[in-house]
Structure 1
Amino acid sequence: MSIIPMAGLRLRFFTDPGEFLAAAGDYLAADPVVSTVVTTVANRLLSQRTEGISQPDRNWWLVVSDDFGAVVGAGMRSAPYAPYPPFLLPMPDEAAVALAQALHEREEEVLAVNGALPAVELCAAELARLGGGRVQVAQHTRLHELGELAWPPPAPGGLVVATQDDVDLVTEWFAAFMGDADEQAGRPRGTSAHELPDRAEMLRRLQDGRLWFWVDETGEPVHLTGANPPSYGVARVGPVYTPLSQRGRGWASNAVAEVSRQIQAEGARVCLYTDQANPTSNKIYAALGYRPVVDMANLVIVR
């Protein structure tokens, strides 16, 4: 752990996700929907560490605390894909600026920042000021939480759990989801950086039973929905992917509704992210009962 003091605030960097969760757990649990990305990633990487899977040296976990020791912000740099953007939760404005200064002093190359507004805007702007370049928006996202589930018109077929035997199709659809999401939002394919799990990680996810197909009347998979295991009582749905030839038939609405129902039946709250540039998905989730919680952004620094 390294500590960077500043007037009224303190930045603490951790290399161990377990130590980070021990330091920030109460803060993260106080708003588990907003902190869902950080908590699910931290718990997943902590689990992998106990299995002997090492993490890159570039990974860090951030806790922001005030003069009284109260945690007032958090973040992480654990993305496995270039340019390895930090992900920031809400924090005081001065902490976001101080983080950029700390990263510059640590000589970390940071060319993208994801997470909560306005922290990401302030951090990215200061990084650009210190290192040169200009900030551009790669994606505006919105976090939603499910209230009372509203069932869509029924679609033929049903939900089935994907198994490890389905790893090739699931991997293919994960990759297609990333490119299609860009196109649906009016961006060139590959514009948004995303994580594509390797085969070992995909097999682990399938073993956990958190990926589902919607199958049609013939038993043919026509849609894929995933969800993270609950963390602090919140499970995040995603990805949600329907191949182009199968769209417009209600598969996605019915699959997300049933997955959401199952998660709520387990006693967890349900949330998901949408791309604000994709009106179709936003309309679908709103109709199911998902309501906006907070706006976030993925920013890039162009030099």
Structure 2
Amino acid sequence: MTHRVEQTTDPAAFLALAGEHLAADPVLSTVVSTTLGRAVDDPQRPEHPRWWAAVLDGDHVVGVGMRTAPFRPYPLYLLPMSEDAARALGGHLVATGEDVAHANGARASVEVVLGVLAEARGGGARVLEHDRLWEATRVVAPTGVRGSSRRATEADLDLVTAWCQAFMPEADRQAGRPPREGEGEHLDREWAADRVGHGLVWLWEVDGEVVHLTAHSATSFGVSRIGPVYTPAEHRGHGYAAALVAEVTDRILAAGDRACLFTDVDNPVSNGVYARIGYEPQTEMVRMELVEAGALTTPGPA
């Protein structure tokens, strides 16, 4: 089987090329489709790398990857595809000299593409983090949780920004890892203002004090993705995350859309919370990086 790769910096062109492929499994493609949708709405080119690539067999798209992350080290993001398709994409990146050393996404795809790059560069690849994609088709709401929800407003922007930027570094610490360089830096005030402005951030209050935040993405191909989900350390253990994620998920489902989220496999707290309120695991994901051959003697988390 012969594959070819088409790469573009034009989000509208890529949507026309790969939209049908993305829509075929919109939960699996949620990160690509939401990123693509935002880029179509705001096509101004950022300073960081931003492109999309489709692997084609004849006229049919059989694999999708992108490099659009606005945070260091600007990793690839890869959807599930066959080994042959992943090898074709990896070979394309070698041929074009793409300066990439990190990838996130479907585990098998990431392993193959980074394997091709590692072979070409004389090094290896190691796992940084195991993630999992979940979907909820029903909600089991917790009972007896104090407080109530409300949408975040512009008056909450300082708090929303601070909590969103704390989310990823603290998630690393909960999973037993030191925070990585650049982790969460893209969840800045501009990001928060956009989400708040579109009504995508919810807060949980107890006696007038905000104790938890749950955000979600705009709907793309009928899917909305929950995250970030953040509770400050002093308010954890009271069920606030479960209560608000369940409520926001129920709102998404009631609107006729599908709800999904990602978890870090090494964080037992979040995995347990989401399983209890009705989320079911769908796909194993991974974050990996290229390393020099000698560095493989000190691997990351397995």
TM-score if structure 1 supplies the norm length?
0.92
Q: In structure 2, do the counterparts of structure 1 residues 132 and 171 end up closer, same or farther at CA, with 3 Å as the change threshold?
A: farther
Query: Is contact 2:71-2:182 (8 Å) kept?
Result: no
Query: Is contact 1:96-1:119 (8 Å) kept?
Result: yes
> For 1:278-293, what aligned pairs fall within 5 Å after superposition?
278-293=267-282
Aligned: 1:223 with 2:200: no
Aligned: 1:206 with 2:200: no
Partner in structure 2 of residue 63 of structure 1: 54
Query: Is contact 1:58-1:77 (8 Å) kept?
Result: yes
Give the C-alpha shift of residue 25 in structure 1: 0.9
Q: Could you give the per-residue CA deviations for residues 209-266 of structure 1, whole angstroms, max 9, x where no partner exists? A: 10111111x2111001000011000000001000000000010000100110111111
Give the C-alpha shift of residue 192 in structure 1: 7.9
Give the C-alpha shift of residue 194 in structure 1: 4.1
Unaligned runs of 5+ in 1: 1-6
Partner in structure 2 of residue 72 of structure 1: 62
Query: Is contact 2:55-2:89 (8 Å) kept?
Result: no
Query: Is contact 1:230-1:268 (8 Å) kept?
Result: yes
Give the C-alpha shift of residue 195 in structure 1: 5.2
Partner in structure 1 of residue 92 of structure 2: 102
Query: Is contact 1:225-1:255 (8 Å) kept?
Result: yes
Aligned: 1:47 with 2:41: yes
Letter in 1 for 2:57: D
Letter in 1 for 2:17: A
CA distance in 2, matches of 1:139, 1:177: 16
Count of matched residue pairs: 292
What is the DSSP-based 3-state SS (H/G/I as helix, E as strand, rest coil) of the residue aligned with 2:27? coil
Letter in 1 for 2:255: E
CA distance in 1, matches of 2:103, 2:186: 19
Aligned match for 2:232, one of 221, 237, 243: 243
Partner in structure 2 of residue 177 of structure 1: 167
TM-score if structure 2 supplies the norm length?
0.93
Partner in structure 2 of residue 10 of structure 1: 4
The CA RMSD measured in Å over matched residues stands at: 1.5
Aligned match for 1:25, one of 11, 19, 28: 19
What is the DSSP-based 3-state SS (H/G/I as helix, E as strand, rest coil) of the residue aligned with 1:118? helix
Q: Could you give the per-residue CA deviations for residues 155-184 of structure 1, whole angstroms, max 9, x where no partner exists? A: 111111111221111111112111110011
Query: Is contact 1:235-1:268 (8 Å) kept?
Result: yes
> For 1:62-141, what aligned pairs fall within 5 Å after superposition?
62-67=53-58, 69-141=59-131
CA distance in 1, matches of 2:86, 2:182: 23
Query: Is contact 1:138-1:192 (8 Å) kept?
Result: no
Q: Could you give the per-residue CA deviations for residues 168-208 of structure 1, whole angstroms, max 9, x where no partner exists? A: 11111112111110011111123684452332232111100
Letter in 1 for 2:259: V
Letter in 1 for 2:61: V
CA distance in 1, matches of 2:36, 2:189: 20
What is the DSSP-based 3-state SS (H/G/I as helix, E as strand, rest coil) of the residue aligned with 2:237? coil
CA distance in 1, matches of 2:121, 2:189: 37
CA distance in 2, matches of 1:239, 1:277: 17
CA distance in 2, matches of 1:194, 1:219: 28
Give the C-alpha shift of residue 126 in structure 1: 1.3
CA distance in 2, matches of 1:167, 1:84: 26
Query: Is contact 2:172-2:178 (8 Å) kept?
Result: yes
CA distance in 1, matches of 2:51, 2:45: 13
Letter in 1 for 2:22: L
Give the C-alpha shift of residue 57 in structure 1: 6.6
Query: Is contact 1:174-1:196 (8 Å) kept?
Result: no
Partner in structure 2 of residue 154 of structure 1: 144
CA distance in 2, matches of 1:48, 1:61: 15
Letter in 2 for 1:63: A
Query: Is contact 1:178-1:190 (8 Å) kept?
Result: no
Q: Identity of aligned pairs, percent? A: 45
CA distance in 1, matches of 2:6, 2:27: 23
